[in-house]
Amino acid sequence: MIVEPDVVTSSVRNVSFLDSSQKVELVDNGRDLKAGDVVAVEIVEKGGSYGSAEVKGAEMVDLGIGDIVVGVLGRRKATRGFSAEMPYKLEEGEELDFVSSGGVFAKGLSYPEDIGRPYRCKFLGFVSKDGRRINISEYSLDPAETIDINCPLVMVASSRMDAGKTTVCKGLITKFVEQGKTVGAVKLTGVTRERDTHGMKKAGAKKAYEFTDCGLPSSTCEPDIAIRASKGLINEAGDGVDVVVAELGAGLLSSYNVLEVLKDKDVKKACTSLVFMAMDPVGAYGGLRILEDHGYSPDVISGPATDTEAGRENIRRFTDIPVKNAIKNIDGIFETVKNRCFNQ
């Protein structure tokens, strides 16, 4: 089957021959499925609030009934989003769900009522090259067994998604660049979306990568795969720069291998500074205890928990770690991080 896609999502941005102006050949080979297999679907039923898809360059386009969309098979297990699993097999016409704006299709399991159910899709086939179905891992950076960088590594983690991690990363990148530092940026965990790394580049990062650049539609995979991908991305981001800023998407307790990446001995050794973002004082307290259990002591606690003086006071009751709000005091966060990185 030959189709002409209406939307080619950002999940396949590294597949060199795919763009929205080119017809693609589909094959029907629906067994031994792997996360990252490139597929084409047709939107057949609208759902809740996830009605737009991200295309290359982090632009968003609305989806409509009948649109043919190219993306990838994958998993998602979000606290505030869709929970979905990979299908075991697929046949033409079978139903899939659109579970991530970056272009992930899967079998939906659950969703928050205020977000609504995902858009429903009809599976059309696997995108092929020379008659063989393709996977984004064929067009990706290499994972690594060890970390090999000669610069500080700043990591930003959180108690939950949407806690302001990317905002802090962009703020730190901007401040480092203003002081003449070259910055490599990376997002190590989460579900595919180019928006965050695109924003990091706009903030001044010389280069920015995420797990999708290492062939993963999400970091919901075997822990060793996520860890080796993270090391490969850190090495790429750290080549020829003065500092690396790394975001860990999703929360510490999630299905995205956030804690597993942090627990890795090479990651722990490479980490120079850690900023922790919390949604509320309880999240700050629990996150700090978890990090301490695994040998980390954050340099700063920030996030929505610090939006008011009451929140900051409640956090200070149980820790001596600096508590600084990223919106009101990014300069204070930066000074703490910079001192850890360059004044030790």
Q: What is the mean pLDDT of residues 259-268?
A: 98
Q: What is the pLDDT of residues 26-71, one digit of tens each?
A: 998 777 899 999 999 999 999 887 889 999 999 999 999 999 999 9
Q: What is the mean pLDDT of residues 318-342?
A: 96
So what's the pLDDT on residue 222? 96
Inform me whether the pLDDT recorded for 21 exceeds 70.
Answer: no
So what's the pLDDT on residue 111? 81
Inform me whether the pLDDT recorded for 309 exceeds 90.
Answer: yes
Q: What is the pLDDT of residues 170-194, one digit of tens each?
A: 999 999 999 999 999 999 999 999 9
Nearby residues of 335 by Cβ (< 8 Å), 6 or more positions away: none
Inform me whether the pLDDT recorded for 80 exceeds 80.
Answer: no
CATH number of 153-342: 3.40.50.300
**Comma-separated ranges of CATH 3.40.50.300 domains in the chain:** 153-342
Match 């490969």 to its residue by tokens: 232
DSSP 73: E
Reduce the secondary structure of 219-265 to three states and give it as a string. Answer: CCCCHHHHHHHHHHHHHHHHCCCCEEEEEECCCCCCCCCHHHHHHCH
Cite the beta strand spans of 137-211 per DSSP E: 153-158, 183-189, 207-210
